[in-house]
Amino acid sequence: MTAPPGTGFAGAINNTRRDGLVVVQPRMGFAEPSAMRAGLVAVRDARATTVGTITLDSYTRVGDLHSARTAVRTRTRLNGYPLCTHPDDTTRSMLSEVYGPGFPIQVRHGSARPGHIIEAMARIGLDATEGGPVSYCLPYGRTPLRSAISEWSAACDRLAEMSTPERPAHLESFGGCMLGQMCPPSLLVAIAVLEGLFFAQHGVPSISLSYAQQTQPEQDLEALAALRRLIDELLPGLDVHVVLYTYMGVFPRTRAGSSNLLDESARIAVFGGAERLIVKTVMESVRIPDVADNVAAVERAEREVRCSQQMRAAGRPPWTPSESGLYEEARTMIDAVRSLDPDLGTALHIAFRRGLLDVPYCLHPDTQGRTRSRVAPDGRLEWAHVGSLPIDGPRPAGHAVGAQELTSMLNYVADRFDSTAAAVR
């Protein structure tokens, strides 16, 4: 893709938004600098409007740099790029003539304590990353929420500090993807917006809020409309865009099923007005995708985006957004949290302790763990138990969901797309 020089990730997305394009982005990380470079070059040269991704390995994510170093030294396979372990000059030369104004790159990691990663980015000159005090903490481990909040406060301050007017740092909230699946959309939207408010409070100049495709497109469109409305209401005048993730849960096993799910996410991105789409590959259920898998995925998504844009121009939407009061539910949770304390970090901590925010099936010790969700017969994701959330909904006395039911719900989307794919074969 092409963008005017000196604008970084934030500027590039503003350019594509102005041109009515949807940026497509893979999720990709390789331990070897040569492999990482080859992957970035292939994504840059793909027939699509792309930005690059460097996904870091799990050892770097949890701050276990000793294990990352050992793995690099002994050439043990890592599941991502060890940004804090390779010498900075190695990373700079890996990026040279790839990373630039025309091809911005986002660093993705999942760290609840991201200080070492943000510092490495600052040294190397990378300006975009992803995370948040809640979304990179609760689903991913045992780091106390209080620590994640203070670490992410410092990280946001550092991102604000390394920003210039020409090159504002960009931070995406992962709040719309909590646990990948089974989190009701109103809570996803609420957490994404609350993290966006947290970033803004710390002066991060360019923000994106995520939302992951769930179980029913009509509901996803309602969620994206609610997200957009809340951005307009609560983050006015700021540089904020929306990023949609292709389904993050159990992926279809068949190639046709996976492709159809990817296509559906591209349509949701277009009709939901997302500026960026993060894709999955057809190999998702089998192994860590390789470069060719990723290139195929971004190119396929790009074709479906263009096709959907034509459908939109012709006034032929494939779905009608549902009207289930999703905005009101999200807004109620956001307002309840904001009323707890003027500092968003403090407010978030209190909210999870009191169960005003509570992610279904989350095992983190700092959540109440009382909420449950389920896939309704019509395919919507709904509450099975709202715990202490400040919203109306079921609060059954008994055990809400068993292992077999959980498995079938976790596989609901995969099964739906695999069976449709089999039917047309």
Partner 1 sequence: MTLRRLHVLVTGTSSDAHTWNLMYLQLALEEAGHDVTNLGPCVPDGLLTETCVRLRPDTLVISSVNGHGHTDAARAAAAVRYDPRHDAMPIIVGGLLGTAGDPNADHTPALEAAGVTAVLEKDDLPKLMRLLAEIRAAAPAAAATAAAATPAAAAGRELEGAR
Give the integer Cα–Cα distance in Å for 290 and 29. Answer: 9
- Contact assessment for residue 292 and residue 319, using Cβ atoms and an 8 Å cutoff: no
- Closest by CA position to 176, among listed 251, 253, 274: 274
What is the rounded CA–CA span in Å between residue 77 and residue 73? 11
Can you point out the beta strands (E) in 140-251? 170-173, 206-212, 239-245
Q: Is 287 in the site for partner 1 (CB under 8 A)?
A: yes
Q: Is 363 in the site for partner 1 (CB under 8 A)?
A: yes
Q: Cα-atom radius of gyration of the chain, to the nearest Å?
A: 20
Segment near partner 1 (CB under 8 A), from 70-78, 298-306, 347-355, 378-386? 70-78
Q: Are strands 52-55 and 206-212 parallel, antiparallel or unpaired?
A: unpaired
* Of the candidate residues 33, 115, 125, 144, the single one contacting partner 1 (CB under 8 A): 144
Choose between 11 and 252: whose C-beta lies nearer to partner 1: 252
Binding part of the chain for partner 1, among 13-21, 61-69, 126-134, 293-301 by CB under 8 A, reads 61-69
Q: State whether residue 2 is helix, strand or coil.
A: coil
Please return the burial class of 141, using the count of CB atoms within 10 Å of its CB with bins 0-12, 13-18 and 19+: middle
Binding to partner 1, residues 393-422 (CB under 8 A): 401-403, 406-407, 410
Q: What residues have CB less than 8 Å from 387, skipping those under 6 apart? A: 355, 358, 368, 370, 371, 395
Binding partner 1 (rule: CB under 8 A), the pick from 264, 329, 358, 366 is 366
Please, which residues bridge with residue 385 across strands?
A: 372
Size of the site for partner 1 (CB under 8 A): 38
Q: Is 292 in the site for partner 1 (CB under 8 A)?
A: no
Q: Between 292 and 363, name the residue whose CB sits nearer to partner 1.
A: 363
Least separation in angstroms between CB 332 and partner 1: 26
Which of 56, 62, 117, 234 touches partner 1 (CB under 8 A)? 62
Q: Which structure tokens are listed for 183? A: 């989190």
Distance in Å, CB of 67 to partner 1, minimum: 7
Which is closer to partner 1, CB of 302 or CB of 366?
366
- For residue 152, state whether it binds partner 1 (rule: CB under 8 A): no
3-state secondary structure of 383: strand
Q: What is the dihedral of CA 62, 68, 70, 74, to 10 degrees?
A: 140
User: Can you tell me which of 362, 381, 384, 413 binds partner 1, judged by CB under 8 A?
Assistant: 362
CB 399 to partner 1: min, Å: 9
**Quick check: 388 binds partner 1 (CB under 8 A)?**
no
- Between 207 and 409, CB nearer to partner 1: 409
Amino acid code (one letter) for 82: P
Question: Of 114-143, which residues contact partner 1 (CB under 8 A)?
Answer: 139-143
Query: Measured between alpha carbons, how far is 117 from 59 in angstroms, rounded to an integer?
Result: 12
Q: What x/- string results for residues 178 through 217 when contact with partner 1 is judged by CB under 8 A?
A: -xxx------------------------------------
User: Is position 38 an interface residue for partner 1 (rule: CB under 8 A)?
Assistant: no
- Residues numbered 239-268 forming contacts with partner 1, rule: CB under 8 A: 250
Only one of the segments 40-48, 226-234, 317-325, 362-370 lies at the binding site for partner 1 (rule: CB under 8 A); that segment is 362-370
Dihedral over alpha carbons 298, 190, 182, 274 (to 10 degrees):
-20
Instruction: Give the span between the Cα atoms of 50 and 282, in whole angstroms.
Output: 18
Does residue 27 touch partner 1 according to CB under 8 A? no
Structure tokens at 87: 């010498």
The least distance separating partner 1 from the CB of residue 167, rounded to whole angstroms, comes to: 31
- DSSP class of 50: B
The yes or no reply on residue 390 touching partner 1 (CB under 8 A) is: no
Helices (H) and strands (E) in the chain, counts: 15, 10
The only residue of 355, 369, 390, 393 in contact with partner 1, by rule CB under 8 A: 369
Residues that bind partner 1 (CB under 8 A): 58-59, 61-62, 64, 67, 71, 76-79, 110, 139-144, 179-181, 250, 286-288, 361-366, 369, 401-403, 406-407, 410
